[in-house]
Chain A
Amino acid sequence: MNKKQTKNNLITYAIVIAFYIIVEIMILTGNLSSHMKGLLVPLTYYAVIAVALNLCVGILGELSIGHCGFMCIGAFTSAFFSRATEMSIPTVPRFILAFIIGIAFAALFGFLIGIPVLRLKGDYLAIVTLAFGEIIKNVINSFYIGIDSKGLHFSMKSAMEMGMDKDGDIIVNGAMGITGTPHNANFTVGIVVLLITLFVVQNLVGSRDGRAIMAIRDNNIAAEATGINITGYKMMAFTISAAIAGAAGVLFSHNITTLTASSQYFGYNASIMILVYVVLGGIGNIRGSVIAACILYLLPELLRGLNTYRMLIYSIVLIVMMIVNWSPKIIEWRKRTFGRMNLKLTKEA
């Protein structure tokens, strides 16, 4: 085990815990506005899904622009479960079960979608993840599921079609989504989920499986010739990434009164927003994703005037970062200017 890596991982946990303590102190001393408090849970789930996406983009090396689709699956399956069992199971076990269900379904779909998607490469893979993200959103939008004394009812046409009793409860109401999911998520839960996510991803990166995944990213032909099971490891990374996105979805749905599969939260534009966090935090840099997600999510809220220009600035920064970090000419220029300093750089992940 690489000592430097262990230390690096511990620093990440420490930063998250320190942030948690500072925020809690601010809450206790009344230094945090209710507006800011409302941002804390979103902050955690955006950090979680940013880490998930970085696992896919930075570690596995495949660009997904449909990750919010997995978040959507996690959100809806868990919210459905919580709504359906709200009366019959006490809060704590129900919320834990909701997590398990949300994560399991997101992982299942990550696996199923991964089978076709991971056979593709580069641009094609990216556009197909986008396609799947949109398909998930559209399909969920046309689901109607209700429950009454006779059991579950299902339709893809309208709530009326289900033919439920008068006292029946419509849980998933098409494009109107799920209303009234219990508000079980809070900042502490969010931080715990984030810490578990970091634990899983950082440990994975430091393990033999993580190395195999990164080897595939760097050179799939050489990895294959070195005896690495390409398909298996790609599936593994993609499924874990989807599962974590599902966990973010559970936090999302248990923090919102009305959950709809809208483009704003689950469309490809939302996925691209997460990608911005990942790129600006450093592709492959797990800690960077968390920090970037926090800063980029909070900054426009702190600097009110910035909000109008927020996306404009992000897009410019995104373009500039990509050119500065990846342009062959600029890389060469940096090497010439800074000389052998680059040689000392070891891996970031």
Chain B
Amino acid sequence: MALLDVNNLSISFGGLRAVDNFNITINKGELYGLIGPNGAGKTTVFNLLTGVYKPNEGIIRLDGEDITRKSTIEINHAGIARTFQNIRLFKNMSVIDNVKVGLSERFKYSALEGILHVGRYFSVEKEMDAEASKLLKVFDLDGERDILAANLPYGKQRKLEIARAMATNPKLLLLDEPAAGMNPNETKELMDTIALVRREFDMTILLIEHDMKLVSGICERLTVLNFGRVLCQGETKEVLSNPEVITAYLGE
């Protein structure tokens, strides 16, 4: 059964049709790649899926539920978490607090209990701490739990961003160019992390990527976007050998 089902998604900015008639179906547990040249509209698709932009047309269904035109917050609560092309951490907060922010929808107590430190405050905070520590361990960040996020090395910042997204307990994880700015070693480590997320959390992942090695190495299916339109989609191998795709990437 399809976890994410997108039909005829379109958006225009001014006169420009940034995304035109976009369709995608992602099955549960799948690792799906969204590729395409610069300016093809990949990040715009992410922004549409997460409610940053509202589409002019089309329907987005997550696990059967219509989430089109819902707010970013509602969509996150419905089960989509994401990372950003240019890392967006809570820089002046500790590593563990970054994760705890992600957990705050699942571990609740009232504001009054928080301010007065009474009632469920201590018990819930304890559970939250345990859960956050568990997540940090999975991502091999437990050694840095009290460091400010801004002071993490680049590769670990990427990992923390994924850990934070996972903390919201999503059904679908969107990764926006996770390997951007990474050296081959870091990219290799990132691939391991993504594999780990799939294994540990049985996660469905949609990722945008430029690094063809990474894409061909881990993605099961691909959609190629060019000038806002789907150029081709299908099994990774087929797509990458499609002459149209090669033309779009390398030019005539």
Do A and B contact each other directly (Cβ–Cβ < 8 Å)? yes
Q: Chain A interface (Cβ within 8 Å of chain B)?
A: 1, 4, 200, 203-204, 206-212, 214-215, 217-219, 221-230, 236, 284, 342-347
User: Is there an interface contact between A347 and B81, defined as CB atoms closer than 8 Å?
Assistant: no
B100 on the interface (CB 8 Å rule)? yes
Contact, CB under 8 Å: A212 / B125:
no
The segment from B115-123, B181-189, B210-218 that touches chain A is: B115-123
Query: Least Cβ distance of A327 to chain B in Å?
Result: 16
Known: A1-B122, A227-B76. A208 touches B88 (CB 8 A): no
Determine whether the beta carbon of B81 is less than 8 Å from that of A228.
no
Please report the C-alpha to C-alpha distance between residue A251 and residue B73 in the assembled complex, in whole angstroms. 40
Whether the pair A228, B89 counts as a contact (CB closer than 8 A) is no
Q: Write 10 A-B pairs (CB below 8 A) sorted by A numbering.
A: A200-B115, A208-B128, A214-B90, A219-B88, A222-B84, A224-B72, A224-B76, A228-B104, A345-B148, A346-B147
Alpha-carbon separation in the docked complex, A1 to B100 (Å): 11
Q: Chain B residues near A1 (CB, 8 Å)?
A: 122, 125-126, 129
Tell me whether B108 and A208 are in contact (CB under 8 A): yes
Check A219–B90 contact: CB distance below 8 A.
Answer: yes
- In the complex, the answer to whether B121 meets A207 with C-beta atoms within 8 Å is yes
Residue of chain B at shortest CB distance from A214 = B93
Please tell me the number of chain B residues within 8 Å of chain A, measured between CB atoms: 46
Residues of chain B having any CB pair with chain A under 8 Å: 50, 52, 72-73, 76-77, 81-82, 84, 88-94, 97-98, 100-102, 104-105, 107-109, 111, 114-117, 121-122, 124-126, 128-129, 146-148, 151, 164-165, 167-168
Selected contact of B147 from candidates A210, A227, A236, A343, CB within 8 Å: A343
Q: A218-B92, A225-B76 are in contact. List 17 more A-B contacts (CB 8 A).
A: A200-B115, A203-B115, A207-B109, A207-B121, A208-B104, A209-B115, A211-B93, A215-B98, A217-B92, A218-B89, A222-B84, A225-B81, A226-B76, A226-B81, A227-B73, A347-B92, A347-B94
The distance from the CB of A312 to the nearest CB of chain B, in whole angstroms, is: 32
- Partner of B148 from A209, A226, A229, A347 at Cβ < 8 Å: A347
The 10 closest A-B pairs by CB, nearest first: A207-B114, A227-B76, A222-B88, A218-B90, A215-B101, A224-B72, A215-B90, A219-B88, A208-B104, A343-B151
Residue of B73, B76, B126, B128 with most chain A CB atoms under a 10 A cut-off: B73
Q: Which residues of A contact B148 (CB under 8 A)?
A: 345-347
A286 to chain B, nearest CB (A): 14
CA distance A2 to B29 in the complex (A): 36
Contact A203 B116, beta carbon cutoff 8 Å: yes
B117 touches A203 (CB 8 A): yes
Q: Which residues of A contact B101 (CB under 8 A)?
A: 211-212, 215, 223, 226, 228
Report how far A280 CA is from B151 CA in the complex, Å: 24
Majority secondary structure, A binding face: helix
In the bound complex, what is the Cα–Cα distance between A223 and B93 (angstroms)? 13
Query: Are B72 and A214 in contact, CB atoms less than 8 angstroms apart?
Result: no
Q: How far is the CA of A347 from the CA of B149 in the complex (A)?
A: 10
A12 to chain B, nearest CB (A): 15
Nearest-CB distance from B127 to chain A (Å)?
11
Q: What is the CA–CA distance of A229 and B98 in the complex, to the nearest angstrom?
A: 16
- Minimum CB distance partner of B88 in chain A: A222
Give the CA-CA distance A209 to B125 in the complex, in Å.
Answer: 12
Q: In whole angstroms, what is the CA distance A345 to B149 when docked?
A: 11
The residues of B that contact A219 with a CB separation of less than 8 Å are 88-91
Q: Does the CB pair A209–B114 fall under 8 Å?
A: yes
Shortest Cβ distance from A233 into B: residue: B111
B97 A225 Cβ-Cβ under 8 A: no
Chain B residues near A204: list those with CB within 8 A: 114-115
Tell me if A227 and B88 are in contact (CB < 8 A).
no
Separation in Å of the A225 CB from the closest CB of chain B? 5
Contact of A345 among B88, B124, B151 (CB under 8 A): B151
What residues on B are CB-neighbors of A347 within 8 Å?
A: 92-94, 97, 148
Say how far A71's CB is from chain B's closest CB, in angstroms.
21
Contacts of B88 in A (CB 8 A): 219, 221-222
Contact of B73 among A208, A228, A346 (CB under 8 A): A228
Chain B residue at smallest Cβ distance from A226? B102
Chain A min CB distance to B63 (Å): 16
Chain B, Cβ-Cβ closest to A204: B115
Q: Hey, which chain A residues are within 8 Å of B125, CB to CB?
A: 1, 207-208
How far is it, in angstroms, between the C-alpha of A183 and the C-alpha of B106 when the chains are bound? Answer: 49
Cα-based distance from A236 to B146 in the complex (angstroms): 27
Q: Bound state CA distance, A218 and B101, in angstroms?
A: 12
CA distance A342 to B107 in the complex (A): 32
In the complex the two chains form, what is the Cα distance from A206 to B124 in whole Å? 13
- Closest residue of chain A to B110, judged by CB? A209
Which of A206, A212, A226 counts the most chain B CB atoms within 10 A?
A: A226
